[in-house]
Amino acid sequence: MGKPVYTVEAEPDGRWWSLQCVQVPAAISQVAELNQAAETIREAIAWIEGIDPGSFDVELIEKGAGGS
């Protein structure tokens, strides 16, 4: 059985990317570069859910600016 997967929406917000987890709406963050998103939001999800950051995977979905 694989790890649970949390879906994260990344939306451009000026010079930043705003991040929000679909399953854990309180897990929000912001990054300057999209390649920082998975690690940054992983920490937020783990903290809010009280779980190990390595115990799940993150699926990133780009919205706006070329995404859906």
Task: Determine the pLDDT at residue 1.
Answer: 74
CA–CA distance from 7 to each of 15, 20, 21, 22 (Å)?
22, 9, 6, 6
Task: Determine the pLDDT at residue 66.
Answer: 56
When pLDDT is averaged across residues 35-59 and rounded to a whole number, the result is: 97
User: Contacts from 23-29 at CB under 8 Å and sequence distance 24+?
Assistant: 24/48, 24/49
Task: Determine the pLDDT at residue 65.
Answer: 61
By percentage, how much of the chain surpasses pLDDT 90? 91
The model's pTM is 0.88
Mean residue pLDDT of the chain comes to: 94
